[in-house]
Structure 1
Amino acid sequence: MSLFVLSCLINSVMTYWYGFLFFQSIQAVADAMIVPAIVTLIRHHFPDERVGWAFGWFSATLSLATIVGPALGGLILKAYEWHALFLVLAILALISLMLGWIRIPVQTTCEKPSGGASIPWISSLSVLSGIIFLQMFLLEPTNIVLLVTAFLALGVFCYGEACRTPLLPKGFYRNARFLNACVRVFLIFMVINTISLYGPSYLRDVHHWPTDRIGWVILVESLIGMILANLAGRAADRYPLSAMGSGMGLSLLGIVLLLLTAFGIGSIWMFLFIYLLIGVGHTFTMPAQNKIALLSVPRQQTGNYMGLFQMIQFITGSFAAGAFGSWVETGGTGRINTLGFRLMMWICMGLLAGAFVTVLVDRYLSKWRTDQLDAFRVGR
């Protein structure tokens, strides 16, 4: 939080473009440190049977932020220059830092993580390079050099993982439930980020909606998500796999209806219903998804595992932009292509179908673990 405050304060007075980018990168480092710490605090301050409830309210807080943030940003920009945004961010972050200093215990656990705190430079930089070159390849599919370079970065990553300071947590490859959760969260967030990136532009370019109407639809979606967060958290605690599967089912239904609108079908009420389905589906999916991932990792390595889990969520935004950007855009005009949007919705349906398969795998892994425990008890 201190690093976040510092980067915001400097950017509030920065006039040099590359300096601005540098301190934005510092802000990203701060974000990367904050998010795993939040998840670790949830693990250590809530019993396992209340973790879903905690993640439900965490999601509600994020929904509230998506409502307040753009509105507050618009008001600030209406009265002041854009530098003021970073000054307000610094003030809010400073208040959060002070509250954390007062309320959060210095030590949350007596268990010490295994290994040192060395930074895995080789693995980290190779992952970053690989993502950048893969993103560039998605934008220029004919440039084979970019793809080869991305694979070379993957090779360097494998070498880094064989060194003494790997990026991936110890035992990662043997943790089947966490691996399954990582695949699922990648598929789910590819869909979420795709709709978030291109949905508003689709409504504007294809259905000629004014910006304020699009804003109202997104606002209602966020409000409903915030209202249902408590219920979603409780469902995640009682029936995590069922809650997650039901949420993905609602999202899938919303995407099917959104695909129909690309054929000329739809009204404002239908679009409102579609976005509510997708929003409610996401609200019920994520607390259960986060709980399953969290409880599948060793307690003393919570931050390490969940940091990786959050990283997978973050990179899906760039993959969604790179994978679909050239398809849905009409000839360099920046406007959405209806045919490309249809194809993108079909792919999103396929991604969600893959996520459903991971739920079935999770159910099988849960049953296998139960059978193993039963056999162990009988043996004793």
Structure 2
Amino acid sequence: MTNNKKLVGAIIAVGVLSFLGIVIETALNIAFPQLMKQFAVSAKTVQWLTTGYMLVSTIIIPFGSFLRKRYRAIALFRVAVISFLIGTIMAGFTTSFVTLLGGRLLQGIADGIGLPLMFSLILEQAPKEKIGTLMGIGTLVIAFAPAVGPAYGGLILNYLPWQALFILIIPLIIITWLLGERSIVQVKKPVHVPFDFQGGAFLSVFLVSTLWLLLDLTDQQFGLRQIVLLLVAIISCLVFVYCEQKSDHAVIKLALFKSARFDGLLIAFFLLQLISLCLSFLLPNALQTAFAQTTANTSLLILPAAITDAIVAALAGIIYDKTNPRLPIILGVIIICFSFVIANFNTASVSIIVISYVVFMIGLGLSYSNIMTFSLAKLENEESNDGNVIFMTVQSYAGAMGTALAASLLTWGQAQSKDIVYGTLAGLKLSFEVLLLISVIVAVLCLVSLIEVKRK
């Protein structure tokens, strides 16, 4: 085991890159109207600043296990931090939409490398009695960033041009680079593992086609192109599964999916991230459109939930280590259900939105990181990297689906009324109803999976 202080430093260094990427991703949601006007592009085009980032990240993440076995951790970190730094400079100093998009794609590369690397370092180097705490710190990156993004974006855009969203984080990236150079250590010797080109190619086709199809459905389109995309997605998925079963060096270890417990907790993890990203898109838009809040006010209204998430997520790992690890998960998912009960059975208002979002973040902080920790802790040591990669791929894809779901529900509501305010409120009400249903499904999945573990 490596020195605990160095390990914490390594987690922070790698995690900050992913944190900043997600913060910028959600902060840009507020800047989209301004960017559309400046670059004279449509909403569908400007959306690629987020979608492109997610797509690149999601394609790279599944190869995290291969990269971790084949290359030194510090080498992977350097590729990630340099990609992120160059991408941030490109985005912060450009007057071209194409260059801005290119910068976001480079940031996506950093996120695709960084997320699996962070959790791999924890699983590989953390003492067993500290793994819950350190996983809590690591997962805080994923859960906290979507709440911080709109707050950060709202404050900056209220006083500075959108380029400042990128320029202001450049010093932090450089500090993170220096911290990583001092903290990241290698405890296992890299081995020459062959790359599964067939599996990698078909997995990439599957991810691209399904995301493209999802975006088309968000625009409420379904025709010949969507049918072709659906067929491509199905065929590429089937061929990928066939290739992986025959491969000695599979990109993803499909045998892990034979465990009902692993599958149940993975789906719950996916749905929680989907809810989180859905709310990070939905609430800032609703507060500005339906309740006439400025970007600065919106950021301040969302800030309590972000702070709550940070505090609870930090405590959740300690609770996991010191008590029954099932306790924070079960308590967390019950609180999440309660947050949507509050939202659904009260008239929509600024105060109800703020209260329900804070309550949601309490539940998310307790459950989210511990679901992943609990699931991976039940795997054999040699399987933990593969399990980590699966969780990170699912997490990244859930972000794309959550944003698309929020956009679809909000668009549907607005289409029901000629008045944008009433339409937005209708979309908000429908969204809360859908998210309540999803949260109940999450609670059932967690309870069934955890009871099954106890029975064994």
**TM-score normalised by the chain length of structure 1:** 0.82
1:169 is aligned to 2:249: no
> Which amino acid in 2 is paired with 1:277?
V
Residue in 2 that maps onto 1:308: 390
Contact 2:155 2:295 in 1 (8 A): no
Structure 1 residues 138 and 226, CA gap change in structure 2 (3 angstroms): closer
How much has 1:74 moved relative to structure 2?
Answer: 6.7
Structure 2's unaligned 5+ residue stretches are 1-80
> Which amino acid in 2 is paired with 1:278?
F
1:35 is aligned to 2:115: yes
Structure 2 residue corresponding to 1:276, chosen from 334, 339, 358: 358
How much has 1:313 moved relative to structure 2?
Answer: 1.8
Cα distance in 1, alignment partners of residues 91 and 291 from structure 2: 38
1:188 is aligned to 2:266: no
**Which is worse superposed, 160-169 or 215-224?**
160-169
Deviation track 1:308-367 (CA, whole Å, cap 9, x = no partner) reads: 312222222332333343432313987553333322222211111111121123124313
Contact 2:90 2:103 in 1 (8 A): yes
| Matches for 1:76-155 after TM superposition, within 5 Å | 82-105=162-185, 107-109=186-188, 115-118=193-196, 120-143=200-223, 145-155=225-235
Deviation track 1:245-283 (CA, whole Å, cap 9, x = no partner) reads: 21111111111111123xx36573x44432221111111
| Matches for 1:223-262 after TM superposition, within 5 Å | 223-237=307-321, 238-261=323-346
How much has 1:166 moved relative to structure 2?
Answer: 4.4
Cα distance in 2, alignment partners of residues 253 and 284 from structure 1: 14
Tell which structure's C-alpha radius of gyration is larger: 1
Residues paired across the two proteins, number: 364
Cα distance in 2, alignment partners of residues 242 and 114 from structure 1: 41
How much has 1:82 moved relative to structure 2?
Answer: 4.2
Structure 1 residue corresponding to 2:238, chosen from 155, 158, 161: 158
How much has 1:33 moved relative to structure 2?
Answer: 0.4
Residue in 2 that maps onto 1:216: 300
> Which amino acid in 2 is paired with 1:358?
L
1:325 is aligned to 2:407: yes
Cα distance in 2, alignment partners of residues 215 and 291 from structure 1: 31
> Which amino acid in 1 is paired with 2:311?
I
Residue in 2 that maps onto 1:355: 442
> Which amino acid in 2 is paired with 1:205?
T
Residue in 1 that maps onto 2:48: none
Contact 2:262 2:375 in 1 (8 A): yes
Cα distance in 1, alignment partners of residues 283 and 147 from structure 2: 17
Structure 1 residues 18 and 56, CA gap change in structure 2 (3 angstroms): same
Cα distance in 2, alignment partners of residues 333 and 147 from structure 1: 34
How much has 1:38 moved relative to structure 2?
Answer: 0.4
Residue in 1 that maps onto 2:432: 345
**TM-score normalised by the chain length of structure 2:** 0.70
Contact 2:151 2:298 in 1 (8 A): no
Structure 1's unaligned 5+ residue stretches are 371-380
Cα distance in 1, alignment partners of residues 257 and 338 from structure 2: 34
Higher relative contact order (CA 8 A, sep 6+): 1
**Which is worse superposed, 134-143 or 353-362?**
134-143
Contact 1:184 1:355 in 2 (8 A): yes
Contact 1:4 1:90 in 2 (8 A): no
Contact 2:133 2:318 in 1 (8 A): yes
> Which amino acid in 2 is paired with 1:255?
F
Contact 1:134 1:150 in 2 (8 A): no
**Which is worse superposed, 157-166 or 60-69?**
60-69
CA RMSD of aligned residues (A): 3.2
